[in-house]
Structure 1
Amino acid sequence: METFSRAGLTFDVADTGSGEAGTVVLLHGFPQTSHSWAQVSELLNQRGYRTIAPDQRGYSPGARPRGRFEYRIAELVADVESMIIQSDAGHVHLVGHDWGAQVAWMLAATRPDLITTLTTVSVPHPAAFLKSMRESDQLRRSWYMGAFQAPALPELLIARKPEVFDDMLRKTGMDDAMVADTHRRIIDSGALTGGLNWYRALPFGKPGKIGRRITVPTTHVWGAGDTALARRGAELAGDYVDADFRLRILEDATHWIPEQNAAELTDIILDRIEN
């Protein structure tokens, strides 16, 4: 599967591995693409797993609709649901990082019949995230979520001062090589607006769906050096899982676990899948 289509949009997909051991779907976050899973994917392929990592809505050149309403969470979840069905993989092991974790939580809640196991990285269950805003410094950490929703302003600022984007990434723990690669894949490729539209569509979410519970075996992974997500959200994540739940805290990790801690994260994913 090199691409899949839904609602007139065409999504690029990195689909590798034999699948003898099963299929793992890998969902990237902001501001990244499927490439963020390259190391994890290779390690899983070596163990006999097929990995499917899409460039999600706003990131694939053929899937960049105009208007923030097209980026509401229901559409993001439906994209991945459609991809899984079109892949003919049957049940899959679902893994998501950052915004990809948010999509993964919601898909596991609404379509558990498609999901065998769930591994979320950095971003906790949406209800746990909201509760952590009341019980920790999460609200302060999330200042950027409001700033990103301003129409056109982030793009104009970054167009005039590209170093603003790069400096923001460095402060979250990316090294210079990661910053340069991310700049090329997001800014130079024209994917920035699509990525920001995920934030701009937040007002269109349905609050009643935030607290939906998870019924599949779940592992949540959080890095203690994460500047965007507080520990409290990770601690609360299991409160919304009605199945085996494991919390794995990586004391030396930043927000960018799939790339900076690929081997350790792969072991955690395999532990969830195989045990």
Structure 2
Amino acid sequence: MRHVFSSAGSGSRVPVPAAVLVLALTLAGCGGSGVGTGTVAGGVSSAAAAGAQDIRAVAGSGPSPAGEIGTATSTPAPSPSAPAELPGLGPRTLAQIPDDARQVLIVTGKDKDSPQSQVVLYERRTDDSGWTAGRTWAAHNALKGWTDDHYAGDLHSPIGVFTLSDAGGLLADPGTKLPYDRSGGFTIGGTGFEGEPLAGSFDYVVAIDYNREPGTSPLDWTRPLGTNRGGGIWLHVDHGGPTHGCVSLAKQHMKELLLALDPALHPVVVMGDRTSLER
């Protein structure tokens, strides 16, 4: 399994010139190739923590995801009540979910080698309350599916439990409670793996705390695990085809997600293929 990265970091955002960011996205893929710091929220294997990947935006091939990796910490014991009620998650996966997480976004891949997945946001307001499920949304993940040992450029999405701490996009903040960085650095062009245009893919973005520094813009290039472990793994607007490592949702669903996520509820994303998550 992978490390769970916490979003406990609250460092100030690091300003980066838009021109530099655009070049970085072009060279690094979906969200950039740097590896960020970040703390593990649950206990995941080091291999999983290293799964963040750079998004390499090669002309005609689409950008790679920009997720970032966080630092690992000891695995906390699963919550005694609600976590066990989350569907499709086995004991090993549940053990990686932090006790204080009251928003859990579950991304379930169709199978280990598939770029198709579905997403559901679960929420509970108190420790004693059960989980309330949101709607099921269709999504895309990486071209070659999933891995628990992610490296930059492997065209897989990292399996694991990761905190969600920062957002941003080319468009104005829709009203999210997450720190939001609006920047021209989220501009993307070219086409994806199936020839689909990539423009608008980064209109809305939520950084997945894989190999990244929580508390910074999704565009920050800090990579705690090293650039070879990938980074820039994001939740972003779907462009109609597989990603380089990110998870993509319809634009309206990304907007709804941004409005729903609340730092006070310590949101995390649990992501991977169905079989892996059931362990």
Give the TM-score normalised by structure 1. 0.28
Q: Which has the higher contact order (CA 8 A, sep 6+)?
A: 2
Higher helix share: 1
* Structure number with larger C-alpha Rg: 1
